[in-house]
Structure 1
């Protein structure tokens, strides 16, 4: 792995973590959206989105150190953004415009605590990758100073 490859790896990780934060922010923003799309003529609540990461050439999230004897990965990318298949939450609110005949309203399957954990995790990963990128930059600068 060259020094420039580590810049590419950090860059791809920064992009992936930013997307994770964007998806979590979208989930938080739509936590009360009861009419996100129509399915077979019926309105369905917002369904939580999840980012599925893929590390190129390796099993997802596999460390470069574990792959040192074989082909090295070139960073992480997003394989897909998928919908969470967990069921919607039912809340009793007969006055809600979207209430069913029994008085229950289907709410999105967004768990605010989980979303905040995802945001925190993505933020910490983003910060760690910025630090790695800064360290790589520092090594490059020191290598240039050797030539003086």
Structure 2
């Protein structure tokens, strides 16, 4: 595997992790979003990744969570129905935060791999120039 292969793999990983981080940020920002019971709840985004045949990883798609969500009793909410319920997303904040840490570490590892590959490529160019 050459420096270009390493750069390609690390670059594809950066892209996938950025998409995952964006989806998690969107989910976390909407964890407390409620709607009337006659509407769909916020649907969390889950990134589906897969191996790229050329090496690396790519985003295969984004799957949406359950539109049913959870019914919460909140009679003081202006969106509540006549029984005092609103529809909230079925998104677990603790799980989203755990995934955020994992995605962040993966992104950081990809950045470091890119730096190492660039250093190796630069060193090889310098050797060839002598």
Matched, 1:125 2:121: no
Q: 1:54-83 CA distances to partner (integer Å, 9 max, x unpaired)?
A: 1123xxxxxxxxxxxxxxx42111101111
Task: State how far apart, in whole Å, the 2-side matches of 1:3 and 1:100 are.
Answer: 60
The two structures have a TM-score, normalised by structure 2, of: 0.87
Higher helix proportion (structure 1 or 2):
2
- Aligned match for 1:88, one of 48, 62, 69: 69
Which residue number corresponds to residue 44 of structure 2? 48
Alignment of 1:38-117 (within 5 A): 42-57=38-53, 73-85=54-66, 88-117=69-98
Shift of 1:116: 0.9
Cα drift, residue 135 of structure 1: 0.9
CA offsets 1:89-119 (integer angstroms, 9 cap, x no match): 2221112233234322221112111111111
1:144 matched residue in structure 2? 125
Task: Name the TM-score, length of structure 1 as normaliser.
Answer: 0.78
CA RMSD of aligned residues (A): 1.9
Alpha-carbon offset, residue 2 of structure 1? 2.7
